[in-house]
């Protein structure tokens, strides 16, 4: 874990974005604006920032023609990349940073309270929830008692889940149509992204299990599939760029009392690796511009990992966030706060101030969805309390 954090620190230091204050003539400024690889930003204080796009793959002498979208049969970006602010584009305005930090704290408090109430319901009715989940035929064969059975069928189901998730993810593109052959390329990109995201989620846990000879097995995440479908549907109907895409198709389950005893610590390690992968994808976005397929892959991977982290960190029983919260509330608060801020500052509220939040449709719809989630948590908690009171009075 220390090696991962040290490597991340060194990696971040290697990306220093220098901004020099130099005099420039109007003619030179006009020439720079005509250059497609240069972005000119006019600040409210009258100063001008000049950002030159860099293509790391050009330095490796990789021709762009190989990564043209038409080679995979599609012609538009998988995601609306204009809604994703890369490291060269994020706002450095203290007001914007401060407002997003305050909004992240507000989300932190609201989500924490809602999940606290929801956990009370789960703890009171956990046995009934487990009994219900065991009645699902597809998931029954992944029970511990069937570890040595249905090997081929299990692999087939996991592959099917990966394909279904890729199909769901592809629908985050408003132009995607499964029945059109030209959209096969989008499906390929989303499938690769989902596989990488799943690998990033469980790589640390898999290494830990193998090192300690713990029994471990992959199991389809049916709840994640339903959440992914719901999130993509909301993104399409509410026209939120680049959209919500949450859901991990499969999860690694480790059978060991030693793992359960230190689950929060191990989950924190796995989500830290997931965050590291998201940061790597984000830092590489500007260097991939001009290489369409690679750019689509990095943009989608960043969105999947970051939004997946946000939902996974909800401190709910059965989620990694719940285990981390029990292990260390400080560690959970720091990671959830950081992820919430990144989500706002790079995707859903990148250039807004507090007064402009109401004018930003993606931000406003995001807060509405969050409010609905909180309302559902309160409703479930209230119904459970009323039911418990009625049962105790009989």
The residue behind tokens 């023609």 is 65
Q: What is the mean pLDDT of each run of 10 residues along the chain (394 residues)?
A: 48 39 61 69 67 59 76 81 83 82 82 73 58 58 65 80 84 76 81 84 82 81 76 77 71 76 86 91 87 89 88 81 88 91 83 59 69 72 70 66
State the pLDDT at residue 388: 67
- For the chain, the domains span 53-124+138-393
State the pLDDT at residue 9: 44
By the 10 Å C-beta count (0-12 exposed, 13-18 middle, 19+ buried), 299 is classed as buried
What is the pairing mode between strands 38-42 and 215-220?
A: unpaired
């Amino acid at each position: 874990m220390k090696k991962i954090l040290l490597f991340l620190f060194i990696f971040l230091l290697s990306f220093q974005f220098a901004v020099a204050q130099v005099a420039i003539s109007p003619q030179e400024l006009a020439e720079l604006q005509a250059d497609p690889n240069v972005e000119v930003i006019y600040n409210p204080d009258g100063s001008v920032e000049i950002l030159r796009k860099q293509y790391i793959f050009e330095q490796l002498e990789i021709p762009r023609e190989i990564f043209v979208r038409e080679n995979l049969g599609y012609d538009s970006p998988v995601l609306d990349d204009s809604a994703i602010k890369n490291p060269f584009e994020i706002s450095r305005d203290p007001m914007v940073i401060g407002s997003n930090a305050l909004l992240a704290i507000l989300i932190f408090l609201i989500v924490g309270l809602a999940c606290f109430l929801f956990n009370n319901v789960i703890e009171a009715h956990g046995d009934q929830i487990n009994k219900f989940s065991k009645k699902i035929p597809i998931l029954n064969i992944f029970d511990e008692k069937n570890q040595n059975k249905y090997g081929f069928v299990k692999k087939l189901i996991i592959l099917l889940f990966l394909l279904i998730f890729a199909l769901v993810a592809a629908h985050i593109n408003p132009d995607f149509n499964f029945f059109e052959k030209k959209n096969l390329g989008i499906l390929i990109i989303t499938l690769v992204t989902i596989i990488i995201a799943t690998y990033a989620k469980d790589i640390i846990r898999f290494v830990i299990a193998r090192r300690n000879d713990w029994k471990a097995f992959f199991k389809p995440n049916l709840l994640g599939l339903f959440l992914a479908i719901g999130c993509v549907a909301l993104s399409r109907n509410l026209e939120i760029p680049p959209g919500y895409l949450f859901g991990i198709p499969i999860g690694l389950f480790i059978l060991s009392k030693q793992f359960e005893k230190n689950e929060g610590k191990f989950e924190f390690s796995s989500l830290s690796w997931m965050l590291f992968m998201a940061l790597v994808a984000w830092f590489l976005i500007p260097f991939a511009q001009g290489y369409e397929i690679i750019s689509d892959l990095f943009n989608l991977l960043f969105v999947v990992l970051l939004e997946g982290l946000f939902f996974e960190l909800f401190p709910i029983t059965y989620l990694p966030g719940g285990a981390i919260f029990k292990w260390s509330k400080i560690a959970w608060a720091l990671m959830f706060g950081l992820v919430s801020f990144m989500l706002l500052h790079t995707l859903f509220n990148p250039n807004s101030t507090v007064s402009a939040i109401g004018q930003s449709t993606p931000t406003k719809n995001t807060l509405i969805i969050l409010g609905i989630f909180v309302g559902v948590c309160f409703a479930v908690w209230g119904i459970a309390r009323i039911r418990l009171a009625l049962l105790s009075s009989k």
